Structure 1
Amino acid sequence: MLAKAQDKQREFAFSRGDFDRLRQMLYDAAGISLADYKMDMVYSRLTRRLRDLKLSSFADYLRHLETHQGELGNFINAMTTNLTAFFREQHHFDYLTNEYLPARQAAGQQQIRVWSAGCSTGAEPYSIAIALRNHPDIDTRQWPISIIASDIDSNVLNVARTGVYDLPRIDDIDEALRKRWFLRGKGENAGMARVKPELQAMIDFRLINLTRPWQLNTRLELIFCRNVMIYFDPPTQCRILEGMADHLVEGGLLFAGHSESPTRVTDRFELIGKTIYRKR
């Protein structure tokens, strides 16, 4: 009776069967695994799509999904989480500037190829670019540094490509870094900031589904895949991490999220620092 009462209070009819079908579709399309308690989240994230499409129930939306291939991208965009911030987990970027760059210089190895997997609106790859350009004594402007930044959500990639953010988004960045690497908007762009073109030129933004072939066409020195694995079940985590190990050069590094431990699902990595792993 309680479930029926709750259904009556909803704007759109949404049954447990609807939820189970939607999360299976999300898993099949993107490899993202949703727990049972995520039912309300699914409802809240998809109601806008139902309004936009003028549908009256989630059963109608499921039929629309099954008969309109273009809707799948909108569905995935609505269901993915895009929490991000500049220099989130600061220790990773400190490591790049203070330890990794000096080691590369000492070894005479200037080429650095990076993949930011799950880059959301771009804060992570731009933070990586700044960290690799910001050593006080090592000028890396002539180093062949390239960053592939990918996400499964086309909407956030469009934001990332522009490199334009509300000023509050960069408030927590050190003032010296803000002045060096961001341009403040004026006139109609007041209240906004844009990353400098030098950083944008380092980054190639791509739409990549981690559960499908990646087509990176290059080996990598560094992979950032942080707070992404938590959305996949263990078998999917293992497949993705094994693929990442295959794409890393010998001794390449994987940067993981604070709640993630790649060594629990694969033996291809060893922990060398705080959530920093080296390919074995």
Structure 2
Amino acid sequence: MESSKTMSDGDFAKLRAIVYSQTGISIGDARRSLLVTRLRPRLRDLGLPDYRAYITRLSKDPAERQELTNRVTTNETYFYRTPRVWTYFNDVFLPDFAARVQNRPMRVWSAAASTGEEAYTAGVYLEEQRNRSERFDYAILGTDISSRVIDVATAGLYKGRPVARFRQEQPDLFDRHMTGSDEAGFKAGPRIRSRIRFRQHSLLTPLRNTALFDAIFLRNVLIYFTAADQETILRHARAALHPDGVLFIGESESLKHIDTDFEQVEPIIYRPATRAKGGGA
């Protein structure tokens, strides 16, 4: 009998089909060993003899399908990731918005929020702008398909690597807006936390019951989807973005070969296209 250390071709095909139906994430042949590594401990915890038994369990147990989603999604992130994104956000986008818009808060969506570091980093810079501009205010939404990371993000307690770079490279900001200790961990200050909420959401479905966003962070997630699904995700992002808004993607990502309604501001930074697509060059 197949053991939890091996996965037959048939079981691999069924499992990656289940993962795709749950998350939209495409698991290629080269990632088979990763799937085994992430699921083997779960089979052991459940007392299941093989992946066939696990597939049967998935067909009957919605909670286990969510657990599968939590285990197969990649959630590496940290504060102040890709500094030039934050330089543009703080030095260009925030002052421009504060000068143009004075009758509503800035709305930010961390669309692949993972454990929340990106949303709280945005909160630090937004709180700095609030301190500079009396009438400025903001709200942040963080979403992720994994219920596990949403729980971590909501708790918002960080120590070690997730905060180390931010603490080292932006010590003044860190000291002003993060509270805690190395031993207990650090949290963003209460004014930032009061303006952030997290919820579970799949990027393959439209975001419902929300006003338009001024900035969307969609970083380091498109690479896990097929080109067709990337277009779907970007179409939903465009529908959720204010016409004067900005979209940030990951360093290893590009929209050059994807049919979207975005145009590049500079590498990995985009805005809604100012002209309709189609027609001649």
- Which TM-score applies when normalising by structure 1? 0.90
Q: How far 1:137 sits from its partner (Å)?
A: 7.5
> Aligned equivalents of 1:124 and 1:164: distance in 2?
13
| 1:232-252 deviation line (CA, Å, top 9, x unaligned) | 101111011011111111122
Map 1:25-36 to 2 at 5 A.
Answer: 25-36=18-29
Q: 1:133 aligns with which of 104, 115, 127?
A: 127
What is residue 141 of structure 2 aligned with on the other side? Answer: 148
Q: 1:123 aligns with which of 112, 117, 128?
A: 117
Q: 1:240 aligns with which of 217, 233, 246?
A: 233
Q: How far 1:15 sits from its partner (Å)?
A: 0.6
1:22 aligns with 2:7: no
Secondary structure at the counterpart of residue 262 of structure 1? coil
Structure 1 residue runs without a partner (length 5+): 1-6
C-alpha spacing 1:213/1:268, structure 2 compared with 1 (3 Å):
closer
Q: 1:176 aligns with which of 148, 164, 172?
A: 172
What is residue 276 of structure 2 aligned with on the other side? Answer: none
Secondary structure at the counterpart of residue 166 of structure 1? coil
> Aligned equivalents of 1:137 and 1:144: distance in 2?
9
Secondary structure at the counterpart of residue 40 of structure 2? helix
Secondary structure at the counterpart of residue 193 of structure 1? strand
What is residue 278 of structure 1 aligned with on the other side? Answer: 271
- Which TM-score applies when normalising by structure 2? 0.90
Map 1:57-96 to 2 at 5 A.
Answer: 57-96=50-89
Q: How far 1:105 sits from its partner (Å)?
A: 2.4
> Aligned equivalents of 1:163 and 1:74: distance in 2?
21
- Asked if the contact 2:143–2:199 (Cα under 8 Å) also holds between the matched residues in 1, the reply is yes
What is residue 151 of structure 2 aligned with on the other side? Answer: 158
Q: 2:97 aligns with which of 92, 95, 104?
A: 104
Secondary structure at the counterpart of residue 158 of structure 2? strand
1:113 aligns with 2:107: yes
Question: One-letter code of the match for 1:138?
Answer: R
| 1:242-280 deviation line (CA, Å, top 9, x unaligned) | 111111111221101112112421240010123110001
Secondary structure at the counterpart of residue 85 of structure 2? helix
> Aligned equivalents of 2:4 and 2:107: distance in 1?
48
| 1:177-213 deviation line (CA, Å, top 9, x unaligned) | 221111124xxx8342122111111111010011234
Question: One-letter code of the match for 2:198?
Answer: F
Of 92-101 and 221-230, deviating more is: 92-101
> Aligned equivalents of 1:113 and 1:136: distance in 2?
13
Secondary structure at the counterpart of residue 253 of structure 1? strand
Question: One-letter code of the match for 1:98?
Answer: D
> Aligned equivalents of 2:130 and 2:198: distance in 1?
28
Could you list the structure 1 runs, at least 4 aligned residues long, displaced by more than 6 angstroms after superposition. none
